[in-house]
Amino acid sequence: MAPKPNTTVPDYKNVPHSHRLPTTHREVRRTFSKLSRQSLVSLALQWLAKKNRDFCRPYLLGDRDADEEEDDEQYTPAQSYEELQEIYKELAARKGGKREIQDRILEGDWRAGVSMYQLATAEIQYLLDHPNSLRWTAKRLARIPNAKNVSLDMEVTNDSEHLPRFQAQTFMANLARELTPLMKAHYLLIKIKTMPMTILRVYIHDSPYSTEASLAVDNGSSDSARAVFFIWPNGSPFIYSSIANHFGQVISDDGRHLRDIVQQAIPKAFSRPSVRYQLASTNFTTKSLDALLAYRGPGKSNAASGGWSIFQDHNFSQNALDFITSHKDEGQEKNGTRKDGTAGAAKAGPGRPKRTLEGNETSEAKRRREVAAGRFGSSAQPNDGQGLERVEVRIDDAFPPMPNPLEQADDVDTSNISEQSANRSRRGRPSLLDRSLDEIEELEGGDAWVPDVRVVFQGSHVFAGVRQLVEQGVVDGEKMPGWMTGEAGVTIGAVKEGRIRTKSGQIPGV
């Protein structure tokens, strides 16, 4: 057991992994009650592994003082780590409630307290078990252009680098240097085996002390989220940030503020002399980690979403040495629709006389399905796990001069206006979509009237929903603008002339 310091002096240290929280602490209770039995057992086994033992001391028989009472002991302390490992292996093998494990951990083997390391790993385990439990905002580390030698920045040479280099030690030292004057915090930085990403969890300890005793004190602000998560997918310039809030809990301004402090420190920690970074918004927020990895991840899918997803897989690009044409008719047809032009319209044309025999209804449905396949490709499947919950756009086109019954666009707009205005009054905070001064000026220069029309799509998987609407014939798949297929890869944006506005010169998805 760590010797308790006798004095509490404000210091400049981080909260170490091995500091313990009492098991009655609210954060501990809350985190442990959320985890499943299987996760709890696997966590306990991880903590007992040799390399982690320093951070997760269980209560062993040797820790007990000789004169201590033994009567009301529910769990007898184990003799050794090996014995404990055996116990948990046994528990893993047999069935039972999760309460049994939870109690054993909190009241038995770790009755003396749960270390910061344990709490952090438990929360990360929960995050991995439930990848949709938090709301993430994707940011990009953008290089601040060097005013002196612009040309050097752009050069691609044999040993040039365009991504920020990540070194765990240097990064942690830099981050701690930025943050320790402002707050005490516990950091856990880990790599995940099955997903290509690194997770940083910062537990914010709002106190000048970094002792165990100060950790245990529950400061009155009951709802404030104390942990912040950051994820960076390996080999990409993106960073996802999130506040670890509990189910449906409103994030207080305090939590937001603390996250902002940490967030501001991150690009500084990545920077090196003469290579400075800043965080740039990527207009992307979602709850699904899988969607984040698909739209802002390390792979091929970033700038080829929506209908362009056919370019990612081998659906469109068969191997250059694959000469077989016969049994790939399905894939060929998809390519055909894309090549033939407007979403399979030409394709359906010649085939139509044959299909009249099957009845008008089915051929129409089939045509719509083909149109949807042409527009959405292999994306926007209801169960692909890459659902976006909310997509918000502002229409920046001038109001049509005549009351023109534009069947499609108007339908969508009116149905959402009420919801949207209700939304604004509820929120109170300025939306990211509010026009900037420049944009207002630009609009006033023209003589057309441009109302502030916003469209919000909400649901478990917005673009799968749009695809279904196309398949049902509610939305005309051929006249639908491209941003409705999700190919713009943003969850918030301004639409002008049917396209999401982007910065000129900026390549999507890098």
Residues numbered 193 to 222 that lie near another protein (CB under 8 A) are 193-196, 198
Which is closer to another protein, CB of 136 or CB of 187?
A: 187
Which is closer to another protein, CB of 53 or CB of 257?
A: 53
CB neighbours of 72 closer than 8 A, spacing ≥ 6?
A: none
Which is closer to another protein, CB of 299 or CB of 473?
A: 299
- Tell which residue, 427, 134, 139, has the closest CA to residue 255: 134
Contact flag: residue 26 with another protein (CB under 8 A): no
Q: How far is the CB of 261 from another protein (least distance, A)?
A: 19
Stretch touching another protein by CB under 8 A, among 216-224, 248-256, 339-347, 423-431: 339-347
Stretch touching another protein by CB under 8 A, among 77-85, 241-249, 325-333, 427-435: 325-333
Q: How far is the CB of 172 from another protein (least distance, A)?
A: 5
**In the window 114-143, what residues touch another protein (CB under 8 A)?**
121, 124-125, 128-129
Which is closer to another protein, CB of 224 or CB of 373?
A: 373
Instruction: Identify residue 318 by its one-letter amino acid code.
Output: Q
Gap between the Cα atoms of 139 and 230, Å rounded? 10
Mutual angle of helices 360-376 and 329-340, in 10-degree steps:
80
Gap between the Cα atoms of 115 and 127, Å rounded? 19
Among 222, 274, 326, 436, binds another protein (CB under 8 A): 326
Q: How far apart are the first and last CA of the chain?
A: 49
Total residues in contact with another protein, by rule CB under 8 A: 97
Gap between the Cα atoms of 295 and 78, Å rounded? 48
Q: In 341-376, where does DSSP find H-type helix?
A: 345-355, 360-376
**In the window 431-460, what residues touch another protein (CB under 8 A)?**
none
Gap between the Cα atoms of 343 and 358, Å rounded? 22
Contact flag: residue 334 with another protein (CB under 8 A): no
**In the window 166-195, what residues touch another protein (CB under 8 A)?**
166, 168-169, 172, 187-195
**In the window 270-309, what residues touch another protein (CB under 8 A)?**
298-304, 307-308
Q: How many CA atoms lie within 13 A of 75 on its CB side?
A: 21
What is the β-pairing status of strands 114-115 and 20-21?
Answer: antiparallel
Contact flag: residue 33 with another protein (CB under 8 A): no
- Cα dist from 385 to 39, 336, 382, 389, whole Å: 21, 28, 8, 11
Among 26, 89, 165, 272, binds another protein (CB under 8 A): 165
Contact flag: residue 5 with another protein (CB under 8 A): no
135 close to 251: Cβ distance less than 8 angstroms: no
Which strands make up the sheet holding 390-395, listed edge to edge? 453-458, 390-395, 492-496, 499-500
Among 139, 338, 394, 461, binds another protein (CB under 8 A): 338
- What residue has token string 């949807």? 372
Contact flag: residue 386 with another protein (CB under 8 A): no
Among 149, 160, 170, 249, binds another protein (CB under 8 A): 160
Contact flag: residue 481 with another protein (CB under 8 A): yes
Among 158, 356, 360, 404, binds another protein (CB under 8 A): 158
Contact flag: residue 81 with another protein (CB under 8 A): no
Contact flag: residue 342 with another protein (CB under 8 A): yes
Contact flag: residue 336 with another protein (CB under 8 A): no
Among 10, 12, 30, 54, binds another protein (CB under 8 A): 54
Among 36, 46, 252, 420, binds another protein (CB under 8 A): 46
- Tell which residue, 140, 215, 205, 131, has the closest CA to residue 387: 131
Instruction: Identify residue 392 by its one-letter amino acid code.
Output: E
Contact flag: residue 235 with another protein (CB under 8 A): yes
501 close to 494: Cβ distance less than 8 angstroms: yes
Q: Among positive and negative, which fits the CA dihedral 29, 30, 33, 36?
A: negative
